[in-house]
Structure 1
Amino acid sequence: MVPYFYIRCMAINYLNQTLRILALFVLVFAILFFGRTVLIALTFGAVLAMLLLPVCQWLQRKGVSNGLASTLSVVALLVLVGAVITLLQYQLSGLVEDLSKIEERVGELVAGLKSYVKQHFGISHQEQQKIIKEQQGSGMGKVAGIVTGLLGSMAGIMVDAILVLVYTFLFIFFRGHFKQFLLRLFKPENRETTREVLQNAGKVTQSYLGGLGLMIVMLWVMYGIGFTIAGVKNALFFAVLCGILELVPFAGNITGTSITVLMALAQSGDTKVVIGVIITYGLVQLIQTYLLEPLVVGDRLNINPLFTILIIVIGEAVWGIPGMVLAVPLLGIFKIICDNAEPLHDIGFLIGPPKEKKGEEGNFLTRLFKKSK
C-alpha cells in the first residue's frame, strides 16, 4: 500500500511539473507572438549589442570614454551596412539599364508559354489574352492595396531600423547597469553562475554571428567569381544577394540562387548561363558545408540539427523572417541557460548534439554518412 501511494504521488508530482513547464512555454510563445511589434526590434538591438561589444571594449582600452565608444561602435555598423547598400545600388543601376532587354526577353518567354498552352491544352491565344485581361481587371484594386501596403511596410522598416540602432546604443552604453540588475534577481550564492551564463551567452553570440559574417563575405567572393565565369550580368549584385540571404538558414541560399536563375533566363535565355549558375551553387554549397562551416562557423552553438530546423520554423511562425534570422542565436543562448540551470539540464541535453565517441568529431553530414564500425 505504501509503495503504491508513493509511486502515485511521484507520478502526480511529475505530471504537475510537466504541465507547469508546458504552460510556461505556451505563455512565452503567446508573449512573443502578441508582443512582436515591440520585441523584434528590441531583440535585434540586444543581439547587435552583443556583436558590437568587443569593438566598444577595444575602444575603451584605447582610452575612449564609454559614451563615445558606444557611439563609434554603432557608427561602424552603419558604415558597414551603408557600404553594402551602396555596392548593391551601384550594381542595381546597371541592372535597371537592362530592364528594356529583360522586358523584351520576358515577353518572348511569355509568348513561348502561350504557344505551349495552345499546343498542349487547346486554349487559343485570344482566349488566353481574354483570361489575362479579366484577371488584371479584377485585380486592380488588389494591386493598389498591395502598393499601399508596400509603402507602409517601407515606412515601418525605416522606423524599426532607427529603433534598432537606438536600442543597440543603449544596450551597449548601459550594459553594466543591466548586468547588475540581472545579478540582483538571483541569490548571492547563485550570482557567480549567473555571471558565467551572461558571459558565455555573449561569447557564443559574438562567435556565431562573427563567424557567420566572415562566411557571408567568403560566399560573396565565391558566388561573384562563379557567376562572372558563368556569364551572369551584374554578377556582383546577385552574389551579394545570395550571401545576405544566407542569414535565413536553409531557405535563404536556395531563394537567392532561384532568383539568379530566373534573372539569367530573363536576361539572356542562354541555357549555358543557367547551367553555370546551378554548377556554381552546387560547388559553393559543397565548400560551405565541408570547409567553411566547420572552420569558420563550426559548432559554435552546439545544437542538434533537428532543433535548429525546428526553431527556424517556429521563429518564422511567431516573428516571420526576423524570427528566422534570430531563432538560431536565441536558441544557442537558451541552451547555455539550460546547461547552467539544474532544473533545465535535461532540456539542454535534448537540444544539444549527441555525444560523439573519440575520433568521431566533425561535420554533421560527414558523421551522417560515415559507416558505423
Structure 2
Amino acid sequence: MSKRKFNNLEGMRFLNKANRLLIFLAAVLLFMYYLASFLIPLAFGIFLAMLIVPFSNFLEKHKFNRVLSSLVSTFTLFIISGIFFFLFFLQINEFAEELPSIEEEIRSGIEYLQKEVADATGESQHNVAGIDTLWEVIETRIAGFIGNILEVTFQFLLVFVYTFLFLLYRGKLMTFIISMYSPGSEEENAKDALSKISKVVFHYLWGRLQVMLSLAIMYYITFLIFGLPYALLLTLFAALVTIIPYIGPLISGILPITFALIFFNDFYQILFFTICVIIIQLIESYVLEPYLIGKEVELNALSVIVAVLLGGIIWGVAGMILFVPIFATIKIISNHSGKIQPLGTVLGN
C-alpha cells in the first residue's frame, strides 16, 4: 500500500471516529434535554448524597445503622435547606405584596437616572418609555414564580427522596459499578475513579456552600449599614445565585446596586455602596473561592464557561449549577479511560 493511500485510509478512520463521537454527543444531549424533568432531581439527589455522605459515615461509626444514618443525614440536609428556601419564598411573597406601593419609588428612581444621564450628556430628557410594560413583566414574573411554588416543592421533596435512597444503597451501587469491570487492574481503576469523583464533588459543593455563606454575611452586614430595603431578600438571592460560577456572582452584585439606584437619593451614598459591593465581589472571586474551593474541580476556565452555558441551554438554571460537577465527573472518567483520555486533557487545566 502506498503512503498516500495509507494516509487517506487513516483520514477516513479519523473522520468516522469523529462522526460517531458527534452523533453520540448529540444523542446524549437530546436525551438530557427531553428527560430533564426526570434527570434534574436525580442529579441533585446524587450530588447531595455525595455532599452528605461523610456525615452519614460519621453516624455509622457511632453505632447508627445504614437506614437510620441515611434518614438522619437526609433529614438534616432537608431542614437546613428547607429553612433557607422558606425564608426566601417568604421574602419574595412580601416583596410581591409591596410591589404596588413601591412602584412610584421605582418610577421616580428611573426618572432621576434619566435626568442625571441627560444632564451629563447634554441630551434632552425623554419621558420614561416602556415603564408600564416593564412593570407588567416584573409583576407577571413574580406572580408566576409564586404560582410555581407547588411544583418547586414537589421537585424539592423528590430530590431528598433520591438523596435518601442513594445514601441507603450506596454500597450496592458501588459494588454494581465495580462488578462491571474485569477483576484486577480495571477493577482498581474503577475504584480509584469513583473515589476521586466522590472527593471532587464533595469538596466542590462544600466549598461552594462556604463561599455562599461568607458572601451572604458580608452582603447582609453591608446592606444593613447602608439601610438598603429588602436586605434579607437580596442577601438570600445573592447567596443562592452565587452557586452558578462566573454568572452568579455578577448577578448577585448587579441586583443590590440596582436597588441602591432606585431607593437611594444621594449620589455619594450610591457611589460608596457600589464600591463596597465591588470590594465584596473581589474578595469572593480572589480570596474566598481560591481558598475554600481551590482547584478541586480542576477544570479550565473555558470548560467551566461551556458547562455553565450548555447547562443553561439544556436544563436552565439547574443545568448552570449541575453541569460544572458533571463536567468534572466526565473529566475524571476520561482520565481513567484510555479510549477517551484526550477528552480529560481538553477539559482539565
Query: Is 2:231 the partner of 1:241?
Result: no
Shift of 1:63: 0.6
2:291 is aligned to: 295
C-alpha spacing 1:40/1:275, structure 2 compared with 1 (3 Å) = same
Give matches, 1:169-208, under 5 Å.
169-189=164-184, 190-208=186-204
C-alpha spacing 1:261/1:122, structure 2 compared with 1 (3 Å) = closer
Shift of 1:239: 2.6
Deviations 1:195-231 (A, max 9, x none): 1111110110001111111111111122223333333
Q: Determine the C-alpha separation between the residues in 2 that align with 1:216 and 1:122.
A: 41
The partner residue of 2:159 within 164, 169, 173 is: 164
Q: Determine the C-alpha separation between the residues in 1 that align with 2:210 and 2:336.
A: 29
Q: Determine the C-alpha separation between the residues in 1 that align with 2:345 and 2:9.
A: 26
C-alpha spacing 1:4/1:89, structure 2 compared with 1 (3 Å) = closer
Give matches, 1:342-353, under 5 Å.
342-353=338-349
What secondary structure is seen at the aligned counterpart in 1 of 2:16?
helix
2:26 is aligned to: 26
Shift of 1:93: 8.7
1:356 is aligned to: none
Q: Which range is displaced more, 289-298 or 25-34? A: 289-298
Instruction: State the aligned residue count.
Output: 344
Q: Determine the C-alpha separation between the residues in 2 that align with 1:204 and 1:2.
A: 49
1:217 is aligned to: 213
Shift of 1:102: 3.1
What secondary structure is seen at the aligned counterpart in 2 of 1:6?
helix
2:108 is aligned to: 108
User: In the alignment, residue 323 of structure 2 is paired with which amino acid?
Assistant: A
Q: Determine the C-alpha separation between the residues in 2 that align with 1:144 and 1:89.
A: 15
Q: Determine the C-alpha separation between the residues in 1 that align with 2:142 and 2:99.
A: 20
Shift of 1:104: 3.9
User: In the alignment, residue 28 of structure 2 is paired with which amino acid?
Assistant: V
Q: Determine the C-alpha separation between the residues in 2 that align with 1:166 and 1:205.
A: 20
Note if contact 2:49-2:164 (Cα within 8 Å) is conserved in structure 1.
yes
What secondary structure is seen at the aligned counterpart in 1 of 2:148?
helix
Shift of 1:268: 3.5
Query: Is 2:321 the partner of 1:321?
Result: no
What secondary structure is seen at the aligned counterpart in 1 of 2:30?
helix
Note if contact 2:110-2:262 (Cα within 8 Å) is conserved in structure 1.
no
Q: Determine the C-alpha separation between the residues in 2 that align with 1:288 and 1:143.
A: 29
Note if contact 1:105-1:269 (Cα within 8 Å) is conserved in structure 2.
no
Note if contact 1:227-1:280 (Cα within 8 Å) is conserved in structure 2.
no
Shift of 1:236: 4.0
Q: Determine the C-alpha separation between the residues in 2 that align with 1:9 and 1:124.
A: 69
1:36 is aligned to: 36
Unaligned 5+ segments in structure 2 are none
User: In the alignment, residue 307 of structure 2 is paired with which amino acid?
Assistant: I
What secondary structure is seen at the aligned counterpart in 2 of 1:249?
coil
Q: Determine the C-alpha separation between the residues in 2 that align with 1:230 and 1:89.
A: 24
User: In the alignment, residue 275 of structure 2 is paired with which amino acid?
Assistant: I
Shift of 1:288: 2.0
1:52 is aligned to: 52
What secondary structure is seen at the aligned counterpart in 2 of 1:247?
coil
Identity %: 26
Note if contact 2:208-2:292 (Cα within 8 Å) is conserved in structure 1.
yes
2:300 is aligned to: 304
Shift of 1:98: 7.2
Q: Determine the C-alpha separation between the residues in 1 that align with 2:304 and 2:42.
A: 22
Q: Determine the C-alpha separation between the residues in 2 that align with 1:213 and 1:147.
A: 26
What secondary structure is seen at the aligned counterpart in 1 of 2:242?
helix
The partner residue of 2:222 within 201, 226, 229 is: 226
Note if contact 1:220-1:239 (Cα within 8 Å) is conserved in structure 2.
yes
Shift of 1:256: 2.3
C-alpha spacing 1:7/1:91, structure 2 compared with 1 (3 Å) = closer
Deviations 1:286-323 (A, max 9, x none): 22222212211101111110111111111001111000
1:285 is aligned to: 281
Q: Which range is displaced more, 212-221 or 273-282? A: 273-282
What secondary structure is seen at the aligned counterpart in 1 of 2:340?
helix
Note if contact 1:105-1:268 (Cα within 8 Å) is conserved in structure 2.
no
Deviations 1:130-156 (A, max 9, x none): x988x69xx99x999878855663322
Please tell me whether Structure 1 or Structure 2 has the larger radius of gyration of its CA atoms.
1
Shift of 1:56: 0.7
Note if contact 1:246-1:252 (Cα within 8 Å) is conserved in structure 2.
yes
What secondary structure is seen at the aligned counterpart in 2 of 1:343?
coil
Give matches, 1:347-362, under 5 Å.
347-353=343-349
User: In the alignment, residue 256 of structure 1 is paired with which amino acid?
Assistant: S
Deviations 1:329-348 (A, max 9, x none): 11111110011111111111
Aligned-residue CA RMSD (Å): 3.3
